[in-house]
């Protein structure tokens, strides 16, 4: 089984050999990743297949009287990993320290980050394999966290959606399982800081486990049990239903509004029609307008 360091080297070599993600030629830069109707239909079938597989795994595991070695993250995937995640672990991934420090001291409740009494709510749909989501998470989200969430002005609801491929569906279970220990945001940040080429097979069970091992205080045995349980598929299904209700067609998609009220897309209709991805400026403009209403 490759070490964390070796896994990183393999992932970086694969990413260097692959072509870069498609970017728009417009002045605003990258376009949001869009899901075609066919992709969404296929996605629904993938979700159903994964749910069935997870449920069967839980049933078979309970019949055998133990947690077993199978699942999305196997016992073999956990080899040589610490029992509790730490940024100081020898195989900790690049960016782990920054990810853990960014969210340190900010209240987390599942997939919600920030003061529950914050006057403004922000909602963000992401795909763990989406390179445009990675760009927003790495370049823009830290500013949002420091200026708005850490100061108690905004609470953030993370919505791990999936449409880019099979590992988008299984990979988001890692985020959801970490969120069950109130560590989902750290997990997502480490994941994006080390994201491989889309649909290259990089987000394996082993890589998911190494990401978990890089999150301070995460109980890895509990995390693995949660990944392989029926909990994440149920949460993912709720996210999928909300995405359909809100007519989400790509990632990242960001909504904001007064807490308890209606949330609207932070982008203007013209920006949405152009297919551009949301920027830090789009987000701050929307948040500042909402805060000015208080």
Query: What domain range is 100 assigned to?
Result: 34-292
pLDDT of residue 70: 81
Alpha carbon distance 107, 88 (integer Å)? 23
Q: Given a cut of 50, is residue 207 above it in pLDDT?
A: yes
pLDDT of residue 33: 59
Q: Is residue 20 in some structural domain? A: no
CB 189 within 8 A of CB 103: yes
pLDDT tens, residue by residue, 208-235: 999 999 999 999 999 999 999 999 999 9
pLDDT of residue 118: 98
Q: Is residue 26 in some structural domain? A: no
Of all residues in the chain, the percent with pLDDT exceeding 90 is 74
249-272: average pLDDT: 96
Q: Is residue 19 in some structural domain? A: no
Q: Is residue 132 in some structural domain? A: yes
118-133: average pLDDT: 97
Q: What is the CATH number of the domain that holds 262?
A: 3.40.30.10
Q: Is residue 21 in some structural domain? A: no
Q: How many domains does the chain have?
A: 1
Strands 120-126 and 250-251: unpaired
Q: Is residue 15 in some structural domain? A: no
Give the residue from 208, 252, 200 showing the smallest Cα distance to 85.
208
Of all residues in the chain, the percent with pLDDT exceeding 70 is 77
Q: Is residue 13 in some structural domain? A: no
pLDDT of residue 294: 72
pLDDT of residue 31: 65
pLDDT tens, residue by residue, 132-164: 999 999 999 999 999 999 999 999 999 999 999
Q: Given a cut of 50, is residue 37 above it in pLDDT?
A: no
Q: Is residue 6 in some structural domain? A: no
Strands 154-160 and 120-126: parallel
- The per-residue pLDDT of the chain, averaged, comes to 84
Q: Given a cut of 50, is residue 246 above it in pLDDT?
A: yes
């Amino acid at each position: 089984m490759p070490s964390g360091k070796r896994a990183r080297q393999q992932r970086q070599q694969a990413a260097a050999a692959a072509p870069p993600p498609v970017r728009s030629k417009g002045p605003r830069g990258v376009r949001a990743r869009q899901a075609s109707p066919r992709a969404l239909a296929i996605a629904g079938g993938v979700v159903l297949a994964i749910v069935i597989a997870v449920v069967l795994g839980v049933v078979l595991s309970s019949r055998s009287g133990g947690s077993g070695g199978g699942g999305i993250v196997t016992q073999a995937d956990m080899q040589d990993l610490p029992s509790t995640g730490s940024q100081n672990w020898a195989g900790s991934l690049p960016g782990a320290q920054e990810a853990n420090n960014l969210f340190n001291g900010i209240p987390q409740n599942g997939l919600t980050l920030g003061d529950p009494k914050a006057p403004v709510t922000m909602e963000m749909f992401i795909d763990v394999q989406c390179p445009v989501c990675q760009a927003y998470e790495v370049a823009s989200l830290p500013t949002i966290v420091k200026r708005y969430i850490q100061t108690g002005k905004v609470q953030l609801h993370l919505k791990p959606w999936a449409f880019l491929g099979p590992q988008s569906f299984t990979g988001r279970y890692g985020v959801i399982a970490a969120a069950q220990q109130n560590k989902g945001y750290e997990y997502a940040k480490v994941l994006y800081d080390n994201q491989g080429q889309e649909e290259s097979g990089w987000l394996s069970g082993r890589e998911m486990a190494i990401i978990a091992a890089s999150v301070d205080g995460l109980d890895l045995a509990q995390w693995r049990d949660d990944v392989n349980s029926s909990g994440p598929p149920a949460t993912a299904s709720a996210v999928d239903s909300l995405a359909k209700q809100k007519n989400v067609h790509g990632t990242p998609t960001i909504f904001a509004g007064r807490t308890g009220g209606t949330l609207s897309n932070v982008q203007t209709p013209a920006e949405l029609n152009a297919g551009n991805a949301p920027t830090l400026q789009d987000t701050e403009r929307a948040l500042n307008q909402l805060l000015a209403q208080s």
